[in-house]
Amino acid sequence: MKSLNLYDIEDLRYEEIDKPVITSPTDVIIRVKATGICGSDTSRYKKLGPYQEGMTFGHEFSGIVADVGSQVTSVSVGDRVTGCPAIVCHKCTHCEQGNYSRCESLYVIGSLEPGCFAEYVKLPESNVLRLPDTVDFNTAAMVEPSAVVAHGFYKTSMEPGATVAVMGCGSIGLLAIQWARIFGASHVVAIDIDDHKLDIARTLGADYCINSTRENLGKIIDTLPYHIDVAVESAGALSTIGPVLTLPKKGGEVLLLGIPYADIQMARIQFEKILRNELNVIGSWNGLSAPFPGKEWSSTLHYMSTGELDIKPIISDVLSLKNGPETFDALVNKKRHFDKVIFTP
């Protein structure tokens, strides 16, 4: 089968490899129909993280069940599905307590096991979820990042009527805007440095958009007719992790979703907001809870089926897998603008 395999820094190859085969009675093999590039993929492509040389890359996907092991009962051949790409041990204390996102040996396919930038991918039955009929494959390729964002929102103490600010309007931020609405926000403030992303943010439910390169963020926040209850950091950028602390009201919450790929520095005055304003800073990792893989996944599928999670405006490119090497190169070296990129193997 065709696949995209990572060999070294910026060395991604489109090549022929063997199809996965059933080796355990709970294995499910899926014919991949759509698979997305995640921010963590571009970071691994640039710097390598956990990976094995030549490993098939990618972890966000949807597809059709092609083969099942002898003990699989929840899905059958021909079912439309998506996969939770996180593999946990189900044995450590955290797993026993249902806190699967804290599993001591959590990893995601595409790093230590073959991923989904391929025609076929294999997962355990417990990681495979059936799609509602109304959810198309491209939308379903974004179930995983949506579950990751939902996981963070479940950790907040948001109540209906809250005001949420989202800093960074990449895929994660654009999902956060929609999850904020689903969790009952009456106002959503979107902040980015790119007008194009802010336009998408507005389409997806942000009612106040701020371009922080042109406008004085602090001044604008002070003049808003409402206080910010929850500020979401969804860029993982040096330029957002400090400023996001200045956004919430006293006693408010900061939800950290973005993963920084460099050391963080911030002004003392920004850090001091945590203390002086008695902020509750919430870290969130992956998107897992009990029963595995968790309500993050079932609620994502539900809100995708109702249209309250709208993925189409986030997708800028639907490409063939063979365009993978040049697409990663263009993306990482900023040769042109991309929003979410989907490959159709």
Residues in contact with Zn ion by the rule CB under 5 A: 38, 88-89, 92, 95, 103
**How many C-beta atoms surround the C-beta of residue 123 within 10 A?**
22
CB of 103 or CB of 185, closer to Zn ion: 103
Q: Choose between 95 and 189: whose C-beta lies nearer to Zn ion.
A: 95
Give me the least distance between CB of 314 and Zn ion, in Å please: 13
Rounded to the nearest whole angstrom, what is the least distance from the CB of residue 70 to Zn ion in the complex? 26
Task: Quote the CA–CA distance of 345 and 114 in Å, as a whole number.
Answer: 15
Task: Provide the token pair at 278.
Answer: 């008695």
Give the span between the Cα atoms of 178 and 81, in whole angstroms: 23
From the list 317, 306, 319, the residue with the least C-alpha distance to 340 is 317
Provide the minimum distance between the beta carbon of 203 and Zn ion in the complex, in angstroms, as a whole number.
22
* Residue whose CB is less far from Zn ion, 95 or 174: 95
Q: Which of residues 106 and 247 has its CB atom nearest to Zn ion in the complex? A: 106
Measured CA to CA, the distance from residue 154 to residue 15 in angstroms comes to 40
User: Residue 265, class by beta-carbon neighbours within 10 Å (0-12 exposed, 13-18 middle, 19+ buried)?
Assistant: exposed
Q: How far is the CB of 36 from Zn ion (least distance, A)?
A: 8
| Shortest separation between residue 296's beta carbon and Zn ion, angstroms | 13
CB nearer to Zn ion: give 146 or 246. 146
As a whole number of angstroms, the distance between CA 277 and CA 281 comes to: 11
Distance (Å, whole) CA 116 – CA 134:
23
